[in-house]
Amino acid sequence: MSSVEEPSTENRAPRSRARNGESRASVVAAALKSFAARGYFGASMRDIASEANIGLAGIYHHFGSKQDLLQAVMTMTLQDVLASTRARVAAAPADDPAAQLDALVRAWVEFHTVRQEEARVGASEVHCLEGAGRDRVIALRDEQETLFVDVVERGVRLGAFTTPYPREAARAMINMGIAVATWYRLDGDISPHGLAERYARMSLDMVGALATRD
């Protein structure tokens, strides 16, 4: 009588890791929804477990505390938007600061139109962060600001932008994009692409770009 061959340990391990990763991602997604709906202090671990449709033990299998969950949500969000904006700048012509700024602002605004929950939590709950997690999040925010400042200051150095206030202009663009997440509606009268185009034009005007891009 033949026996059913058991999957090898090597085959089981990748599947187990994949399921574990999916479970962790579902917990992070549930935490995001709970924080967006109730705020960090208003959301409980039971709320998050209910949203994720798992028991509290399942939450604690992946995260030791609600603080760890907030840090995971905010770190993921900032890493994603930083990667997106950096990639768009890198893809623009290196000798065209206006094209780089256009690409940067479009990526920034589009992110805040389509990932509004992450953006709102990132803006409103940063004061709830503690310890090393707070330091990591602040460092990522600083990297994002540096990207904007570098693009604008480079444009000024090359004579493409005329603003005497490159740092202030960069910070204004960042805050304009962040604010989008508080009012923009996907079912409204303008698409994410269309809004991003408008904000890119406004940003080029803000820095005194010598030629407005089409």
Domains (range + CATH), the chain: 9-64 (1.10.10.60), 65-214 (1.10.357.10)
Q: Which residue has the tokens 């990639």?
A: 87
pLDDT band, very low/low/confident/very high, at 214 (cuts 50, 70, 90): very low
How many Cβ atoms from other residues are within 10 Å of residue 115's Cβ?
A: 17
CB 108 within 8 A of CB 173: yes
Task: Find the mean pLDDT for residues 79-97.
Answer: 97
Condensed to tens digits (0 to 9), the pLDDT of residues 68-80 reads 999 999 999 999 9
CB 29 within 8 A of CB 23: no
**How far apart are the C-alpha atoms of 207 and 133, rounded to whole Å?**
34
Q: Which residue has the higher pLDDT, 13 or 211?
A: 211
CB 105 within 8 A of CB 177: yes
- Indicate the pTM of the whole model: 0.85
Give the pLDDT score at 210: 81
**How far apart are the C-alpha atoms of 179 and 69, rounded to whole Å?**
24
Condensed to tens digits (0 to 9), the pLDDT of residues 22-60 reads 688 999 999 999 999 999 999 999 999 999 999 999 999
Give the pLDDT score at 1: 46
For the chain, give the mean pLDDT.
91
Condensed to tens digits (0 to 9), the pLDDT of residues 114-141 reads 999 999 999 999 999 999 999 999 999 9
How many Cβ atoms from other residues are within 10 Å of residue 148's Cβ?
A: 25
Condensed to tens digits (0 to 9), the pLDDT of residues 145-204 reads 999 999 999 999 999 999 999 999 999 999 999 999 999 999 999 999 999 999 999 999
Give the pLDDT score at 191: 97
Give the pLDDT score at 23: 83
Nearest to 111 by CA among 93, 131, 86: 86
Give the pLDDT score at 22: 62
205: pLDDT strictly greater than 60? yes
